[in-house]
């Protein structure tokens, strides 16, 4: 995972570059404020989506491990029952 200090520096870089570009194009402080707020909002949405993705991926991996564990348990039971029935003969 990305350390907070690096994340914060990248966040400031993106928002600062957005504000500077907006000011150089429009020469309007109002435009800079709207663009900066838009950049912050976009970054927040991307962060929220990435957290949801990580939660989804983790739950998929966990359910896959549980299915594999159940399958292994069923296979062990099948082999034990076959050995039991072969011993009866």
Q: Which residue numbers in the chain have pLDDT < 50?
A: none
27 occurs within a structural domain:
no
Domain count across the chain: 1
Q: What is the largest CA-CA distance in the chain?
A: 93
In a domain, 64, yes or no: yes
Is 15:28 a contact under the CB 8 Å cutoff? no
Instruction: Kindly report the pTM of this predicted structure.
Output: 0.56
pLDDT of residue 76: 60
CA dihedral for 27, 29, 31, 32, sign (positive or negative): positive
Does 36 fall in a domain? Answer: no
Q: Flag whether 24 is in a domain.
A: no
CA angle at 42 for the pair 51 and 33, rounded to the nearest 5°:
145
Q: Is residue 11 in a domain? A: no
Q: What is the pLDDT of residue 23?
A: 94
Q: How far apart, in whole angstroms, are the C-alpha atoms of residue 45 and residue 66?
A: 32
Q: Examine residue 3 and state whether it is found in any structural domain, yes or no.
A: no
Domain-located, residue 35: no
Question: What range does the domain containing 58 cover?
Answer: 49-77
Instruction: State the pLDDT at residue 24.
Output: 94
Residues 12, 16, 17, 23: what is their CA dihedral angle, to the nearest 10 degrees?
A: 170
In a domain, 8, yes or no: no
């Amino acid at each position: 995972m990305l350390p907070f200090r690096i994340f914060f520096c990248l966040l400031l870089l993106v928002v600062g570059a957005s504000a500077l570009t907006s000011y150089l194009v429009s020469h309007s402080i109002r435009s800079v404020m709207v663009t900066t707020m838009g950049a912050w909002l976009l970054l927040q949405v991307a962060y929220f989506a990435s957290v949801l993705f990580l939660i989804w991926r983790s739950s998929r991996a966990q359910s896959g491990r549980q299915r594999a564990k159940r399958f292994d348990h069923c296979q062990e039971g099948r082999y034990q029952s076959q050995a039991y029935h072969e011993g009866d003969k």
